[in-house]
Each structure stands twice: as C-alpha cells, then as structure tokens.
Amino acid sequence: MAGLLDGLPPDALSFVYLVAAVLFIVGLRRLTHPRTAARGNLISASGMALAVGVTVLWFEILSPLVLGAALLVGAGIGTWLALSVETTDMPQLVGLFNGFGGGASALVAGAELVDQVGTAGVADLTLTATGAAAVTGLIGAVTFCGSLVAAGKLHGIYDRPIHYPVENAVKVGIAGVAVLVGLALLTQPALGLLPMGELVAPYWALLVVASLLGVLVVVPIGGADMPVVIALLNAGSGLAAASTGFVLNNSVLIVAGTLVGASGLILTRIMCRSMNRSLANVLFGGYGRSETAD
Amino acid sequence: MAFIENLTLFVLAGFLGYELVTKIPATLHTPLISGTNAISGITLIGSVVVAGSGNSTLASVLGFFAVVLATINVVGGYLVSHKMLRSFGRRGGE
C-alpha cells in the first residue's frame, strides 16, 4: 500500500479518520438546532472531504484514471441533480440519493468478497467478512430498491398503495428466503456456478432476493407515509455503511454509518409517534388499512 | 481481535446517534434526514479502496459503479441539505 502519502506511519490514516468522525458528530449535533443547522452541514461535509481526500491519497490506486472518472461522473450527476431540483421535489431526491448510498454499500461488500476470493481463495474468507457482507447485502439492496420505489411514489409516478394477495405472508416468506441465502453465503460461499467460484454467487443471489423484498415492502405503502419510509430507509443506508465497515475493517465507516443508523431509527420513531401510528402499522398496514385514508 | 473493537465502536456510536437527535424540532426532520443521508455516503471510502485496488477486474468494475453511486450520494446529499437549510434560515433562523 504505497500511495502519495508514503512514509507516514500507518496510524496516521486512522488518526485522520478519527478527526473526520469527530467532525461528523459535531456536525450532526449542530444539525439538530435551527440556528446552527446550516453550519453543522458544512462541518459534516468538511469531515467527508477530509476522509475521502486522504483515502484517495493514501492507498496505491492502480487505475487512477478510472477512479478519477468515477468520482467526476458521480460528482457531476450529484451536483446537477441537487442544483436543478425544485424545492417541492427535494424529498424524493433525498430518497433517491439514499438508495444510491445503500446500493453503493452493497456493491462494495460484494466487490470486497470477490477481491478476497481472487487473492486468497474461498477457504480464507473469514466468518466476519461473509457475515458482515450478508448483512450489508441484505440491508443495502432493500434500501436501494425500497428507496427507488419510495422516491417514485413521492414523485407522484404511482403514489397509491398497491396491495397484493396474502401480502404480509409474502413479505415474511421472501425475508425468510433472504435469510436462508445469507446463511448459504456464510456456510457455502463457493456454492453455485462452481467453475466460477470467485464470483461468490450466494452474495449476488442475496442481492436479488433482498431487492425484491425492498420493492414488496414499500409498494403497498401509501404516498402519505413515504416520509417515515424514507427516514427508515435512511437508517438502512447508514447501517449498510456501518456493516461495510465490518467487512473492510474500517473504523470511520462504522462510526459514521452507525451514527446515521441510530439517529435515523430514532427519527423514524419520532415521526411515527407524531402521526399516532406504530412503525409496524406503517410497514404492515394491513390491519390499519381503514385508518389509512388515501 | 479486530471484530470486538469494531463492535465496541458500533455500540458506542449507536448510543451517541440516539442521544444526538432525541430533541430535534419537527421542522428540522427533513433537513436532518438529508444531512445524515449525505453522511451515510461515507461508504465512498470503501468504494475508493476497492475500486482502486485492481486485484481483480470484476472487483474494480463493481468498485467503479460503487464510487459513482456513493459520490452522487455524498455530493448531491450535502448540496441538497445546504439548499434546504438556506431556505430554512431565511424563513425563521438567523
């Protein structure tokens, strides 16, 4: 690992990550007060710039052109979307970004598994890596697809709840399948597509099942409940980032992701309480369908 | 044992996140979701490492798409939050 910052002690990177984590915490605290919120956002953004900048300089990047292109494309699209959005369309854009974050975490965990298998072989995958990757894949893919549906509903593409037969049984069933595929990843990471064991097929199967689950859970929920769903999915993208941190053994991913996950869950609860609903009622609205005036 | 150290960070950060937002006013809910959403783009760091390592072509390709998605999340997330909070500040804040 010889990047541009070659020569610095290995702990220097961890130290910079610690500084970034502190900036996230201070920024998040300021975000909760009206007068300091805008400054809080800037502080958290500076933490992000610091963490990403040092990471790019620290590691030996074998294909700097490809990485640079990816960063430029992403920054361009993100800037364009954020600057062109109308104020009324902001919630669905936040939902969309949120899905991208979850999707990125799911891709990273998968890429890391592929990378580890490619360099060290399937036998050397640790239970921590596969377990954390399974959690990342499940939460990340649910967040990605759930957020796309939620953003679409907020955008008015399809804001009515769509119900299907034996809804909750289907959701529980698919969730069960996802858990089984996750367990297959833990026990038999080379399962399926045997000649191409380095693909870690169970992981990608898990992403497919989890994506379906994300769609099935959000589709029956009405447009009026979408803010709560976005808050919950936001917590999901944070938790996905945190468990990616377990896969990559990276402290700042764990701290920042968990901060988002925990604050998102609490916010979800606060928002449910202010609507006089329980989260279960929002997610599995079957019982409360008559109360849900759509 | 890296795992137990990571678990320690996870649990402590969880309590911290809980404490930080318990007393948030309702008007700041959407900006907070947007602002924390940008923070969850921290996964970009993982994407950069994986995309740049170049050990396997497949991992690099996946990493490339992860970098694009995460960068959209980070850059767009912070900009949208900034836009939201600026209009918020004009209405009632500073």
Residues A226, A163 contacting (CB under 8 angstroms): no
Task: Give contacts of A248 with chain B, Cβ < 8 Å.
Answer: 46, 49-50
**Measured distance CA(A221)–CA(A201) in Å, rounded:** 32
CA-wise closest residue to A47 among A31, A70, A68: A31
Number of domains in chain A: 2
* pLDDT value of position A2: 56
Among B7, B56, B69, B91, most A C-beta atoms within 10 A, so best to mutate, is: B69
Would A294 be classed as within a structural domain?
no
What residue type is assigned to position A132 of the chain? A
Determine whether the interchain pair B75/A250 forms a contact, defined as Cβ–Cβ distance below 8 Å: no
Q: What value of ipTM does the predicted structure carry?
A: 0.92
A266: in domain: yes
Residue A151, pLDDT score: 92
CB A195 within 8 A of CB A101: no
pLDDT for residue A198: 65
Please check whether residue A125 is in contact with residue A142, taking contact to mean a CB–CB distance below 8 angstroms. Answer: no
Buried residues in A121-149 as b, exposed as e (16+ CB within 10 A): ebeebeeebbbbbbbbbbbbbbbbbbbbb
A246 shares a domain with A179: yes
Asked if residue A291 belongs to a domain, the reply is no
What's the rounded Cα separation, in Å, for the pair B88 and B83? 9
**Nearest by Cα to A3 from A53, A75, A73:** A53
Angle of helix A167-187 versus helix A127-154 axis, rounded to 10: 150
Same domain, A260 and A204: yes
Same domain assignment for residues A189 and A260: yes
The whole-number pLDDT of residue A197 equals 54
**Closest Cα in chain A, distance from residue B14 (Å):** 5
Compute the distance between CA of residue A223 and CA of residue A153 in angstroms, rounded to an integer.
Answer: 6
d(CA B4, nearest CA chain A) in Å:
10
Q: What one-character-per-residue DSSP string does A78-134 give?
A: HHHHHHH--GGGHHHHHHHHHHHHHHHHHHHHHHHHHHHHHHH-GGG--HHHHHHHH
User: What is the predicted pLDDT for the residue at B94?
Assistant: 40
In three-state secondary structure terms, A290 is coil
Residue A293 domain flag: no
The pLDDT value given to residue A109: 93
Please report whether residue A289 resides in a domain: no
For helices A90-120 and B77-91, what crossing angle results, to 10°? Answer: 150
Taking an 8 Å cut-off on Cβ atoms, the answer to whether A264 and B36 are in contact is: yes
- Give the per-residue pLDDT at A159: 72
Do the domain assignments include residue A267? yes
Is residue A155 domain-shared with residue A92, that is, in the same domain?
yes
Which residue range forms the structural domain that includes residue A73? 1-84
Nearest to B20 among A32, A51, A237 (CB): A32
- Looking at residues B48-73, what average pLDDT do you find? 87
Per CB-CB distance under 8 Å, the chain B contacts of A77 are 68, 72, 76
Q: Do A22 and A152 belong together in one domain?
A: no
- Extract the tokens encoding A82: 């954020």
**pLDDT surpasses 90 at B60:** no
**Chain pair A-B, CB pairs under 8 angstroms:** 356
Residues 6+ apart with CB under 8 A from A293: none
> Are residues A252 and A181 part of one domain?
yes
Using CB atoms, pick whichever of B38, B50, B82 lies closest to residue A112.
B50
Identify the pLDDT of residue A41.
94
* CA dihedral for A253, A255, A256, A259, sign (positive or negative): positive
Please identify, among A34, A51, A84, the residue that sits at the C-terminal boundary of a domain.
A84
Angle subtended by helix axes A64-84 and A90-120, to nearest 10: 170
Same domain, A202 and A165: yes
**Residues A208 and A265 both lie in one domain:** yes
Could you tell me if A184 and A168 lie in one domain? yes
User: Quick one: A143 and A279 in the same domain?
Assistant: yes
Flag whether A92 is in a domain. Answer: yes
Q: Which of A41, A55, A91 sits opposite B45 (nearest CB)?
A: A55
More confident residue, A150 or B89: A150
On whether both A115 and A257 belong to a single domain, the answer is yes
Question: Which domain-ending residue is among A38, A60, A84?
Answer: A84
Concatenate the DSSP letters of all residues of B32-79 into one string. Answer: HHHHHHHHHTTHHHHHHHHHHH-S-HHHHHHHHHHHHHHHIIIIIHHH
Pair (A125, A71) in one structural domain: no
Identify whether A292 is part of a domain: no
What residue ranges of chain A have pLDDT lower than 70?
1-4, 190-198, 286-294
Domain boundary among A84, A115, A144: A84
